[in-house]
Every structure is written in C-alpha cells, then in structure tokens.
Amino acid sequence: MVKQTGNPSDTALSLFPLFDTYEEMVATELEGLTDAQLDWTSDRWGWSEWSIRNNVSHVASHLYRWYILRWGDQIFPSGIPFRDEVDYLAALPHRRLDEERWWDIDKVLGKLSEALEMVRDILSRETLASINEKTIDLNDAAFYDQIADRYLGTLMQHPEDPSIWIMTLEGCFHHSEGELVTHLYNVQRLKRAQGLEGKVALPPIGYWTLPDWDRSEP
C-alpha cells in the first residue's frame, strides 16, 4: 500500500512526478526513429499488433478521454477544455487520436505534450485531500482492479451493486501512470523486435509489473 505523506491541503502535483518526466522519456525513446520503424507491426505477439506510433497516440488519447470525458464536469468547473476537438482526441473507437488530424509523429507528440500539461494543471489545482474526495462510477474497472490493492481506497466495489466500481481521482491518476508506463514498455519491445535498444529506465509501476502480465520478448 502506498500512503500519502504531507498536509491534506498540499497540492497533489508532487504525488505524481511521472507526469513531469514522461514527455522527455518518450522523446528520448523515439529519437532518430524512421517512419518505417514507428509503423512496424507483427502478428507474432499480441503487443506487436500496435505500432510505436499507435502506442504514443493511444496514451495521448487516454489522458483526454479520462480527464475530459469521464471527469470533466468535476475538475473543469469553468468549462470543458478542447470542446471543439474532444471527439477527435478522445472518443474514437480505436482509442487513439484521430489519425487524419494527428498522424505525423511530431503532431502526435504535440498532443501528448498538451495532454500532460492539462494533467499537471489539474494536479496543481487539486489537493491531497480533494483527489480522494472526488469519485466517479465505472461499469468496468478494466485492468485497474488488478493493481488497486497497491493504492488502497482508490478503487472500490459499490456496496449496493458490486458490478459498479467507485474510482477516486487519485485512483485515476495511478491508472494513467500505469497506462503511460506500460505503453512505453511496449514501445521498447517494439524497438527490440526491430533490433533497436531501449533508451530509458522504466519505473516499476503499471500493468507491465503484474505477475501474470505478458512480458514476452522478441
């Protein structure tokens, strides 16, 4: 279990340093890659069905999807940001950015940078107390229920309907950290499958650290 430290009125930003460092981690990992390397896929492994470009596009879309579409009414009291773009950023069935608008890797990285800035702004306005006071209901906990015991009190089954999960805002930030790091892990595997080396050390958080996660290697 990870316990918060600090005054409950402190900003929540310090609790999630990954959102400060992730953009640089991705940029370092992608430096020098050609379009062919960014778009390489294979049907040999489940994780290789998405390309490097697909993985980066997905994590950008993930941030817009969760914090605008799922949390927007609670965390943006002055109005939902990116209102004119949000369907293209977050609501497409393939769970990536609209590829007609954001295909070039520099444009994809630009939207990722924008999304990370949005998350940091949210964290700077929230406190260690408020991120546990704000909640949403989920019909499906996806993979988060598998790591929820690491962050007790951030994801719970509804006491009257166990098919519904109650997620705190803190829990959602942990979920996003798990997504971002796990997809960067996939980027590194996609590089290794092409004879390229990974460049950054990944923190031991996220779904890729689960004992039964597919960590197959090329």
Name the architecture of domain 12-209. Answer: Up-down Bundle (1.20)
Tens digit of each residue's pLDDT (9 = 90 or more) over 31-58: 999 999 999 999 999 999 999 999 999 9
Question: What letters, b where the CB count within 10 A reaches 16 and e where it falls short, cover 99-131?
Answer: eeebeebeebbebbebbbebbeebbeebbbebb
Q: Which amino acid is at 129?
A: A
Q: Is 100 left (phi over 0), alpha (psi -120 to 50) or beta?
A: alpha
Tens digit of each residue's pLDDT (9 = 90 or more) over 51-63: 999 999 999 999 9
| Angle, vertex CA 167, rays to CA 163 and CA 171, nearest 5 | 140
Q: 214: which 2 tokens?
A: 């597919």
Closest CA to 85 of 108, 58, 64, 60: 64
Residues of the chain with pLDDT under 70: 1-6
Q: How high is the pLDDT of residue 1?
A: 40
Q: How high is the pLDDT of residue 2?
A: 45
| Domain residue spans of the chain | 12-209
Q: How high is the pLDDT of residue 146?
A: 87
